């Protein structure tokens, strides 16, 4: 192949790639995230909720898939992964109506956002809220329910 043909192919591939990136949908991230406990106010229960904002593509793929894996490896992962993710950690007491936890300044850069809560069964998978418009995390006697309230 001659240089002119290679240059034409390269230019065409570059143009198509840039056009595809321009057409790619913008990732929708939650505008709000709220936590509410529907537990009996007389119960003595406080639930830890972790909202994890992941900024690294490799980490997003290999991130712990279950509550058990997350809490078992959380300390080591936070020490090794550094700035590849942020954790918003909130404790929700029983009967707590709702709170909007403080979100990281760089949350719009997140490739993936997942939720874990201590109240669920150990094999409960992470709740992926990346494409939610407005996430509501509800805690009740049966576990955690995460819904898009938009």
pLDDT per residue as tens digits for the range 97-139: 777 888 999 999 999 999 999 877 788 899 999 999 999 999 8
pLDDT tier for residue 60 given thresholds of 50, 70 and 90 = very high
Phi-psi region of 103 (alpha: psi -120 to 50; beta: other; left: phi over 0): beta
- Can you tell me the distance from the alpha carbon of 34 to that of 132, in angstroms, rounded to the nearest whole number? 12
Other CB atoms within a 10 A radius of the CB of residue 38 amount to 14
Q: What is the CATH number of domain 27-148?
A: 2.60.40.4150
Q: Per-residue pLDDT averaged across 65-78, rounded?
A: 92
Residue 87 has pLDDT above 90, yes or no: yes
At residue 38, the pLDDT reads: 82
Domain locations along the chain: 27-148
- Can you tell me the distance from the alpha carbon of 150 to that of 103, in angstroms, rounded to the nearest whole number? 19
Q: Per-residue pLDDT averaged across 29-58, rounded?
A: 85
């Amino acid at each position: 192949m001659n240089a002119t043909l290679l240059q034409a192919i390269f230019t065409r591939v570059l143009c198509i790639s840039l056009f595809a990136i321009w057409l790619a949908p913008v990732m929708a991230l939650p505008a709000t995230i709220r936590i509410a406990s529907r537990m009996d106010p007389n119960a003595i229960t406080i639930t830890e909720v972790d909202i994890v904002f992941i900024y690294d593509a490799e980490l997003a793929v290999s991130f712990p898939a279950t509550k058990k894996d997350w809490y078992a490896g959380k300390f080591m992962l936070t020490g090794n992964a550094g700035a590849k993710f942020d954790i918003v950690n909130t404790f929700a007491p029983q009967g707590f109506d709702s709170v909007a936890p403080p979100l990281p300044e760089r949350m719009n850069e997140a490739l993936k956002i997942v939720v874990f809560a201590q109240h669920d069964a150990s094999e409960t998978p992470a709740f992926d809220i990346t494409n939610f418009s407005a996430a509501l995390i509800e805690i009740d006697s049966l576990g955690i329910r995460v819904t898009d309230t938009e």
